[in-house]
Amino acid sequence: MHPAPSVITFTTLSGLGFGLLFWLGIGLPAVTGWVAFTFFAIAYALAVGGLMASTFHLGHPERAIKAFSQWRSSWLSREGICAVAALVVMAAYGAGLVFFDARIAMLGWIGAALSLATVFTTSMIYAQMNTVPRWKTPLTPALLIAISLAGGALLAGQISAVLILIPIAAVLQVLWWARGDSAFAVSGTTLATATGLGDIGTVRAFEPPHTGTNYLLREMAYQVGRKHARKLRVIALALGYALPVALLLAPFSHALALVAVISHVAGILASRWLFFAEAEHVVGLYYGRR
């Protein structure tokens, strides 16, 4: 799949933002006044900024409002509804902390649940796609939720939680890659099964479908070299998981904590690029990509 910068930015930043809102919703850190305002400002900048970035991938961004009407069948619609609900509830919860030094615990827990639901619905947009075997696994929501919680804990300064959640996310990341590398072959999808002509004999393409490019080739038949993918996986693991943990195990300083956050975000951006670039859509069979 084409690794569009808008979608990579959206999934990375919104995951961090809603992850931070989750921790703020459960009262960690226990802040009020201007300190609370700073935390909420960072969370909203990430969450809303990520959601706005996603609209740049739409052919008609002005029609984005219509996505909310398909909640019965569309995970994209459910994501939008959960995101708006989470932002509204957390705004009310945050206002109590900032302006009245009052924590309405029930409101915070509801906002935290909605924030986590937003990340889950985002992950299910990909996890329910039969046409992309690499994404079609329970590991996809597990990975995205783990990264969101780990990143949110890092931004919230919950070091003990980070030292548990980042290694869990790293393990899930490795498992996701290992399973994904054989997912297309295990799915049994070939040109013969796709056309339904396998019972007749060996199926092969007589000639390319067309001589020029088109939308399908641009968006769903992207290829990345294995050598480059391996390097990016190492970079993602080192920056996104290993280095932040190493920095947090050192004697604490705000400078090291900031470097840990920057490193984690850079590593997740690399892993999220691979999330799309390595995803093989079955339509690629018609263009000789498998």
- For residue 54, the one-letter residue type is S
Per-residue pLDDT reduced to its tens digit, 211-244 = 777 777 777 878 787 788 999 999 999 999 999 9
145 neighbors 45 (Cβ within 8 angstroms): no
What local confidence, expressed as pLDDT, does residue 111 receive? 98
Degrees (nearest 5) of the Cα angle 117, 15, 140? 70
Q: Is the pLDDT reported for residue 52 higher than 70?
A: yes
Confidence of residue 21 (pLDDT cuts 50, 70, 90): very high
Residue 139 backbone class (left: φ over 0; alpha: ψ -120 to 50; beta: rest) = alpha
CB 53 within 8 A of CB 9: yes
Contacts of 30 (CB under 8 A, 6+ apart): 103
Give the pLDDT band of residue 32 (cuts 50, 70, 90): very high
Q: What is the pLDDT of residue 55?
A: 74
* In contact, 111 and 96? CB cutoff 8 Å: no
What mean pLDDT is predicted for residues 51-58?
Answer: 76
Q: Where are the domains of the chain?
A: 5-287
Name residues whose C-beta falls within 8 Å of residue 259's C-beta, 6 or more positions apart in sequence. 247
CA within 13 Å, CB half, 180:
25
Which helix (H) or strand (E) element contains residue 60? none
Is 289 a residue whose pLDDT tops 80? Answer: no
- pLDDT, residue 58, reads 66
Please say if the pLDDT value at position 290 is more than 70. no
pLDDT in tens, 82-107: 999 999 999 999 999 999 999 999 99
The H or E element spanning position 73 is: none
CB of 236 within 8 A of CB of 173? yes
Q: What's the pLDDT at 203?
A: 83
Task: Tell me the pLDDT of the chain averaged across its residues.
Answer: 91
Select the more confidently predicted residue: 111 or 70: 111
Q: Give 192 or 42, the one with higher predicted confidence.
A: 42
pLDDT band of residue 260 (cuts 50, 70, 90) is: very high
Nearest to 153 by CA among 142, 166, 167: 166
Q: What is the pLDDT at residue 145?
A: 98
Q: What is the mean pLDDT of residues 128-134?
A: 94
Provide the CATH topology of domain 5-287. Formate dehydrogenase/DMSO reductase fold (1.20.1630)
